[in-house]
Amino acid sequence: MKKAILAVLAVLLLVALSACGSGKSDNKDKVSLSKDEKTAVANLEKAFTESTTGALSTTEAKCVATDFVDKVGLAKLKAADLLTDTYAVNTTGSPKFDTATSGKFADALLGCVDYQKKLATETAKSDKTIDAAKFESCLRDKLPDSLVKKMLIASQTNASDSAEIGAEGNKAMTDCKTAAAKK
């Protein structure tokens, strides 16, 4: 079940070199969903929490899945090969997102996850030379959600400028790591 959805989620995780998570999920659970949409949300939530590369918390996964399904719709998610006809996560191939769908995924993810905080926290856990607070502050300035969204869309849609956009994000992270180094 993980293969296709993790390909989508892995874009963010690999671009970020870390896990995502931590708490902007206030109002996403108040959406009214059909039975089929609830099935799709449950399947996506499971895939998001089972990732071995920076799984989302259950709350974050539910928030992202709910918002994504609500904003994109089941027909579009099936047409993109993310979901099967029974609303399971497609494990036989990679999803094909257009710019609008990818943007809605990015909006759902960034609306439910405090990306810069989690990236800073996770990076500092694995690299003891990094001051998490300084890293987070720098990331908020140099790697804002707008750039993360741009990186996701470029990568998920195989945009011609995805390498340049990815390099811009990697430079921001490298610069911030340098600025956040403990002295």
- State pLDDT tens for residues 35-86: 999 999 999 999 888 865 556 788 989 999 999 999 999 999 999 999 999 9
Residue 18: its pLDDT value, please? 34
Q: What angle do CA 26, 29, 30 make, to 5 degrees?
A: 100
What is residue 142's predicted lDDT score, i.e. its pLDDT? 96
On the question of pLDDT at 9 being above 90, the answer is no
Among 59, 6, 18, smallest CA distance to 143 is for 18
* Res 122: pLDDT: 81
% residues pLDDT > 90 (the chain): 61
Q: Residue 30 gets which letter from DSSP?
A: G
Q: Which residue from 174, 169, 129 is spatially nearest to 149, judged by alpha carbons?
A: 169
* Cβ neighbours for 119, distance < 8 A, ≥ 6 positions apart: 16, 18, 19, 20, 135, 136, 139, 143, 173
- Nearest in space to 14 (alpha carbons), one of 142, 169, 179: 169
Count how many domains the chain has: 1
Tens digit of each residue's pLDDT (9 = 90 or more) over 95-131? 899 999 999 999 999 999 998 998 888 888 889 999 9
Q: What is the pLDDT of residue 125?
A: 86
Domain ranges, residue 66 = 2-179
Residue 148 pLDDT class (50, 70, 90 cuts): very high
CB atoms within 10 A of CB 6: 21
> Can you tell me the distance from the alpha carbon of 34 to that of 53, in angstroms, rounded to the nearest whole number?
30
Provide, rounded to the nearest whole percent, the portion of the chain with pLDDT above 70. 81
Query: What pLDDT sits at residue 159?
Result: 92
The C-alpha angle with vertex 98 and arms to 97 and 101, in degrees rounded to 5, equals 75
Q: Helices in the chain by DSSP H: which ranges?
A: 2-16, 35-50, 58-72, 74-79, 99-112, 115-126, 132-142, 145-156, 162-179
Looking at residue 78, its amino acid is K
Query: What average pLDDT does the chain have?
Result: 83
| pLDDT of amino acid 52 | 56
